[in-house]
Each structure stands twice: as structure tokens, then as C-alpha cells.
Chains A and B, each alone.
Chain A
Amino acid sequence: MSVLHSAEEVEATVIKFLREVMPWRLANKEISHAMFLQKDLGIDSMGLVALAFRFEEEFGVDLEEFPVEVADIRQVGDVVALARNMTLAAKKSA
């Protein structure tokens, strides 16, 4: 588990995790907040679940404590928002 201090670090971690589950042929694609995970980044259903658990591992929080569910995450911006909330929760419990 890493300790993230800034919004930029959180976003960089999100982008890194997204690239881990994206199709290899999109490796050089620029990623923006408005992009849809499935439609634009080719992340399939298992990729979404893997992403959720990676966040749990990275930020040391329990996904079940978050009102935003995996099923509600559609765009990159949603993922960044979830990661930021998780970081704040991890800091509070530290």
C-alpha cells in the first residue's frame, strides 16, 4: 500500500492501473477524464472488477464502505473521483 499525497499522484496511479487492464494495442492512447472505460478504453467486465480490487489493495480501504459501486463507474473521471475518496478515507483512518 502506498501513501498518496497529491491529486496528481492519485491521478497518475489511476492512469497506471487503467493501462494495466486496457488492451495492449491501446498502450499509447492518451487518456482523458471524459473517456468511457468500456467504449473508449476497451476495459471489459473482468477488467473493471480487477481495477476495483487493485484500488482496495493500493489504498488499504474496504470497497464495500464506498457508496460509489463498481457498477456505477463508467468514465475515467468516475475512477479518479473514487480513488480520491479512497485516499481521503485512508488518510483519516491512518
Chain B
Amino acid sequence: METQRAAPGIIDAHCHIASEDYIPRSFVSGAVSNMVAALTAQGVGVTSEKVEGMYRKKLGDPLCDALVAEMAESGVSKSILLVPDFTYTLKDCRLTIEESFRGHREVLARHPGKFEVFGGVDPRWGQDGVTLFERSLAEFGFRGLKVYPPCGFSPSDPMMFPFYELCDTYRVPALVHTGPTSPALAFDTSDPFMLDEAARRFPRVNFILAHGGVNFMNESVMMCAYRPNIYLDTSGYQTTLCLNGGGALRAVVARRVNHKVLFGTDWPVFRLLGKQQSFVEPLMAEAGPLSETSERERELILYKNAERLLAEAVRSPPATH
């Protein structure tokens, strides 16, 4: 079997803890329904229960032990764990968002140096949510904000501004979901251009368009090219790995905004389809999607862009805050 080694020191900028504590069943059921529709249309006899059962078996890694093992196999030295706040919109969440933050803090302690965490709070929780987010930066060691507009708000809604102000103060990035997601949620607030007002108002905050390498790719690349503080991640590229060797990713790197592209896998979303090594290896192949980039550009995509964004964070903001 092919054993081409991945480059060392890769940072996976888009991961989640594989646990139903953080990914509610309604979210999974919605995503599974799309898979079942596709399989049924092809004449494959499957049931939602069957596919959902297989998928939920992959959500048994609450302390990220399996993820750490797969990181080691694939040359990923650090992963960014994202905590979207579904608790305001989806009513079957097991934990409150504060409990979720504490769970992620536990993972940080269990695996020193392996993870960073970006915490998200639905802005409709009001000042309590803002306070929790600041605590996550000042006390829990989190290093960024996760924004999930499909829960029902625009990323440029003024309710988000207190969060972006904190990102500015603590010099941490904000990673914003773009494009579709589980059909349990809305898609009409996830166009990348909806972030434009926030990016203009908060020029010192770096915003990362999650899945921008796959969803609304042209718009995301435009934002990266013309807004100094906008980046994109590649998560979701796995669905485009085929004979042509990663068509979507190949198209993104050809647009020459590679100083704004962050590698990401969205683990564990594609866990049913392969291990991290199977997603990283194609990138390193001689004719793979990164083969037309320079060595320097490849380093930017695989870890240096993420390193740069994370390096700015301050634990204790200046006294004027």
C-alpha cells in the first residue's frame, strides 16, 4: 500500500470533537437524510436508521484520543477545535454552551500542545454570552471565535459586534461558517458577502471563511483577494477528491491567494469515508492539488497561515480595555 509521508507540522484549522455531547442528534439526522436520498436514488437499499447508526458510531471520541492518534499518523501537529453554539436553535443539545466550553477546556489540558479551541456563543444569549466568550479567552485558553450563521443570524448582525470587539482586544481570529450545512438549520445567512460589513467595521480582526475552498469558492476567493483581514479554509475538500486529484482544492490554489488559505478537514464529518491520513496523503502526491504551488505557498497553506493568525493572541489585553 502507498505510504507517502505527509509533511511535518501541519495545522488542521477546522475540527470538532467527535461526540454527541457537542453535535446534537437533530444535526446528524439532517445530514444523514441527504446521504440516504443520494444512495436511494442510485438504487441502493438503505434506511436512515442504518446510515445514522454508522455515522453515530464515529461520534465516540469525547476526549479526542482517537483524533490525536490520527493526527500523528497523518503528520498533523495541531488541530483547531471549533465549538459552534447550537443551543439557542436546536432543542436537543445535551449540554449548555458553558458546559461545552468546559469540556473543550478539559481536552486542552488532556493533550497539551495538540489543540487550540475557538468557542462560539449564539449572540441571542445576550451579555451572558459575551461574558462567557471573554472568560474563554482570558481563563480557558481559547484562541478564537466560532460563528455559525445557519443558526439564524447574519455574521454582520450588530449583536455580533461585542464578540468582534473582544476578538480585536485579545487579537484572536473569528472563523465563520459559510455555505450549506445540516438541513436542520438555515442556509440563507451563510453567504460569504454577508460577512463584509463586519470585516470592514473590524479591520484588525481576522475572519476565516469556513469551507470557503468548497462553498461559494469564487466569492470567498474574491473576499480573500480584496479584504486584507479575510481568509478561507479548505474543509469539505474531501468530497472533491477523485480521479482528477482534488478538483476544488486545485482550483482554489490556482487563484493565487494562498497567503489566505488554511488547511482544514472538518473532522469528524467525513470520518465515515476515511481517516485523516487518507485525506492528507492526496495533498502531498506528486500530481496532487498542491503540486502547482511553490514550496513556500504549500507551507503557508498547510501551517504557516494558521500559525500567523494564532500567534497574535494575547492572554491579558492592555489595561485600556
Contact = CB atoms under 8 A, between A and B. Distances in A.
A71 B279 CA distance: 11
A53 B239 contact: no
Contact of B273 (A39, A40, A42, A71): A71
B242 A42 contact: yes
A38 B241 contact: yes
Interface string B16-48: 000000000000000000010011001011100
Contacts of A36: 2
B46 A53 contact: yes
B35 A46 contact: yes
Contact of A53 (B45, B273, B275, B282): B45
The SS class assigned to the A binding surface is helix
B97 to A, nearest CB: 30
Given A50-B42, A64-B53, A41 B1 contact: no
Pick from B45, B241, B242 the residue with the most CB of A within 10 Å: B242
Contact of B282 (A38, A50, A63): A38
B220 interface: no
A75 interface: yes
B242 A44 contact: yes
B278 interface: yes
B273 A70 contact: yes
A74 interface: yes
Interface residues of A, number: 25
B39 A53 contact: yes
Contacts of A49: 35, 39, 51, 272-273
Interface string A46-90: 101110011001000001100000111011000000000000000
Contacts of B243: 23, 26, 38-42
Contact of B45 (A23, A45, A48, A57): A57
Nearest to B241: A38
Given A36-B2, A64-B53, A75-B1, A48 B245 contact: no
A54 B38 CA distance: 14
Interface string B207-243: 0000000000000000000000000000000110111
A27 to B, nearest CB: 13
A48 B2 contact: no
Contacts of B38: 46
Contact of A45 (B42, B57, B245, B273): B273
A43 B51 CA distance: 19
Given A45-B273, A70-B273, A50 B242 contact: no
Pick from A26, A45, A50, A64 the residue with the most CB of B within 10 Å: A45
B1 A74 contact: yes
A57 B45 CA distance: 7
A58 B38 CA distance: 19
Contacts of B272: 49, 70-71
B318 interface: no
A15 B53 CA distance: 28
A75 B2 CA distance: 10
B254 interface: no
A23 B243 CA distance: 9
A26 B45 CA distance: 25
A42 B35 CA distance: 19
B270 A50 contact: no
Among all A-B residue pairs, the 4 with the closest Cβ atoms: A42-B243, A45-B273, A53-B44, A44-B242
Interface of A: 23, 26, 36, 38-46, 48-50, 53-54, 57, 63-64, 70-72, 74-75
7 contacts: A23-B242, A39-B243, A49-B39, A53-B46, A70-B54, A74-B1, A75-B1
